[in-house]
Chain A
């Protein structure tokens, strides 16, 4: 074989090999790309699920009650002082319940109905109004509009997140006839075609022995339970309102698959809620209480104010302890420390402390501060000290990096004009490193703000209904509140917890934004 032929053969081999290598190269790049996309995708899913939940909790439904502040109820004989009024929850609550019963006379018929209507509003929801009246006693005897949040389950129902239902169109109802055993026979040619079809679909999905889904028929403020449905007629049991509405107004049917006994809200409550909505007494408003109320056992009343204040107090303690200690320690290690074993040991210690699991600091706090020094449990003071121990290594590491970045020429310049080393450091080096030190400190604080595990161990997980006023008061913090809320069983806590997470993330974003701003503004490279 000639040389050229041989080279040609080896060239072909090389080309074949090259194609394989190129394919491997492409695969490798694709692995990298999919790794990044996986990470970003996980972040997107996390933000999206929590964000969308939070969005639904950002507003809630409130009900307006026009009530007359009857002095006999609000300020009875011997209990007319403002502090009595502000504590008279039963009185105000009674007015609200009476108002509901006046609106829905059928609610008065038995104890069960009275309880159902009473569920619309929790007792504590009237407290702000009671306090307002206590401050303005001249309101007693007048007519006011009391606004209170709707029961959390009904709130979810109105948002379409609680009980699942299908809304169906209904044809015109031609005739309504009272029936002997109670209820009415409603008829109209093909009026319930859509309902019959939907029921057939629902039945196909359900096991054979399951009960038939419930159907509610609504016309304006009136609602009834529809049974014995055929295309042209059905039996209607009026739950609330006036039967004539069904002849007069366009009706709508709601198909609810979940059995009434398995739901948190009854057909009757749904009927009343729809009626209130039709009367324009239910409004969807921003949930300001998330930031102005403290914790509560009722989701519709719960807010994060106490935890936000608790977090701020805790951070205050952490900052006051961790920042000076961290910065001074960094200055010592970077500018003064002789290179010896003690210094080296300190450095190893700092690097290790930054990697010790946070919960270990919680154990330290419980043993040292609470058991040994007898400091109060659940207090921001102790929480802040625990977080300070956790944060100061981070501050030291960041500060040292910032100090290291200051060029030696600055130091020699200052020393050359006769400044002492201490003067050199504090007049020249530290001010130049200040932005870097500050950003490091803020990042450390941001980490501390999101920390919860060590605080659980020193009792900051307790239910705190009052806003703490000093660092020794019982308190909780935002991340721990999120943890507590996520443990609650009721469905309404989920969006609320998400909303609180968004509040916490907003704080963190603010701190990180500050860091970015400081870096942009002051960062310099030598």
Chain B
């Protein structure tokens, strides 16, 4: 009773909710995605474990980003895009008619390829999510959420003196960490990252990768990446996509050292892609 008035964000024990046995957080069954008549993803089934990083790799246009966008129903915003199959999150199909995508997206955060801070202050960028979802009780609460999120994204020390400066004024790497902080601020259980480092220089990339590694302890993370080194560095599980098919999925070490499929090996060794 004592802490129920306080913000749940302040209490690490309740966010995020770990699954009991560390089993799959998200379970996808027979996913097909269509753009109009064209089928972009062919019957993919896979699951994502909690508190681990899963990397989706594959050549351009193989459908890995499209697949990622199924997980928080971002494909809903694209006209004539249709998703078939079941995506179970804690046993509930997220494509069910009575699941509100708005609520779903507050549980499944997303970070995009290009850093896309709102043209607002750093503070307002972080506070936007908690505000719309009503996560904060009053100003101090919100301040605390902003600080905590920025700290977790490793950005606090750099921006704590200029929270009212526009978010678009930060460097590319800082902007991307700001976007990660923004995603964290709504207390998601899952974080989707769509090539989060493709627009960044190597140093900024390294910082983001470190950050992903830290966040792994709290969240289920799915990352789409073009860089196999990055996948090898940050992920525990790796899935290889090719032409809309899931070719192979396994522990990262196994995929990179001992792939079962010929196509995976060809891609990893750089023979196509």
Direct contact of A and B (CB under 8 A): yes
Which A residues contact B (CB, under 8 angstroms)? 1, 3, 6-7, 9-10, 13-14, 17-18, 21-22
Minimal Cβ-Cβ distance residue in B for A3: B14
A18-B103 contact given A3-B14, A6-B8, A7-B14, CB 8 Å threshold? yes
Asked if B134 and A14 sit within 8 Å, CB to CB, the answer is yes
A14 to B103 Cα, complex, angstroms: 9
Which of chain B's residues have a CB closer than 8 A to the CB of A21? 102, 132
Asked if B133 and A17 sit within 8 Å, CB to CB, the answer is yes
Which of chain B's residues have a CB closer than 8 A to the CB of A7? 8, 14, 17
A1-B4 contact given A18-B102, A21-B102, CB 8 Å threshold? yes
Minimal Cβ-Cβ distance residue in B for A11: B103
Q: How far does the Cβ of A285 sit from chain B's closest Cβ, in whole Å? A: 53
Q: How far does the Cβ of A10 sit from chain B's closest Cβ, in whole Å? A: 6
A1 to B100 Cα, complex, angstroms: 28
Which residue of B1, B103, B132 contacts A1 across the interface (Cβ within 8 Å)? Answer: B1
Which residues of chain B in 83-111 are interfacial with respect to chain A, using CB atoms and an 8 Å cutoff?
100, 102-103
Which of chain B's residues have a CB closer than 8 A to the CB of A6? 4, 8, 14
Which of chain B's residues have a CB closer than 8 A to the CB of A17? 133-134
Q: How far does the Cβ of B38 sit from chain A's closest Cβ, in whole Å? A: 21
Which of chain B's residues have a CB closer than 8 A to the CB of A18? 100, 102-103
A9 to B1 Cα, complex, angstroms: 12
Asked if B134 and A13 sit within 8 Å, CB to CB, the answer is yes
Further contacts, 12 of them, CB under 8 A, given A6-B14, A10-B8, A21-B102: A1-B1, A1-B4, A3-B13, A3-B14, A6-B8, A7-B14, A9-B4, A14-B133, A14-B134, A17-B133, A18-B100, A22-B102
Which B residues contact A (CB, under 8 angstroms)? 1, 4, 8, 13-14, 17, 100, 102-103, 132-134
Asked if B133 and A22 sit within 8 Å, CB to CB, the answer is no
Minimal Cβ-Cβ distance residue in A for B8: A10
Which of chain A's residues have a CB closer than 8 A to the CB of B133? 14, 17
Which of chain B's residues have a CB closer than 8 A to the CB of A3? 13-14
Q: How far does the Cβ of B96 sit from chain A's closest Cβ, in whole Å? A: 15
Which of chain B's residues have a CB closer than 8 A to the CB of A9? 4
Q: How far does the Cβ of A410 sit from chain B's closest Cβ, in whole Å? A: 29
A21 to B106 Cα, complex, angstroms: 14
Q: How far does the Cβ of A305 sit from chain B's closest Cβ, in whole Å? A: 51
Q: How far does the Cβ of A4 sit from chain B's closest Cβ, in whole Å? A: 10
Which of chain B's residues have a CB closer than 8 A to the CB of A10? 8
Q: How far does the Cβ of A351 sit from chain B's closest Cβ, in whole Å? A: 26
**Can you list 11 contacts pairing A with B, beta carbon distance less than 8 Å?**
A1-B1, A1-B4, A6-B8, A6-B14, A7-B14, A7-B17, A14-B133, A17-B133, A17-B134, A21-B102, A22-B100
Q: How far does the Cβ of B107 sit from chain A's closest Cβ, in whole Å? A: 10
Q: How far does the Cβ of B111 sit from chain A's closest Cβ, in whole Å? A: 23
A186 to B16 Cα, complex, angstroms: 100
Q: How far does the Cβ of A13 sit from chain B's closest Cβ, in whole Å? A: 7
Instruction: Identify the interface centre among B100, B133, B134: most chain A CB within 10 Å of its CB.
Output: B134
Q: How far does the Cβ of A15 sit from chain B's closest Cβ, in whole Å? A: 8
Minimal Cβ-Cβ distance residue in B for A16: B134
The 5 closest A-B pairs by CB, nearest first: A1-B1, A17-B134, A6-B4, A3-B14, A1-B4
Q: How far does the Cβ of A264 sit from chain B's closest Cβ, in whole Å? A: 60
A13 to B7 Cα, complex, angstroms: 13
Minimal Cβ-Cβ distance residue in B for A9: B4
A22 to B100 Cα, complex, angstroms: 9
Which of chain B's residues have a CB closer than 8 A to the CB of A1? 1, 4
Minimal Cβ-Cβ distance residue in A for B7: A10
A3 to B14 Cα, complex, angstroms: 7
Which of chain A's residues have a CB closer than 8 A to the CB of B13? 3
A294 to B199 Cα, complex, angstroms: 70
Q: How far does the Cβ of B131 sit from chain A's closest Cβ, in whole Å? A: 11
Which of chain B's residues have a CB closer than 8 A to the CB of A22? 100, 102
Which of chain A's residues have a CB closer than 8 A to the CB of B102? 18, 21-22
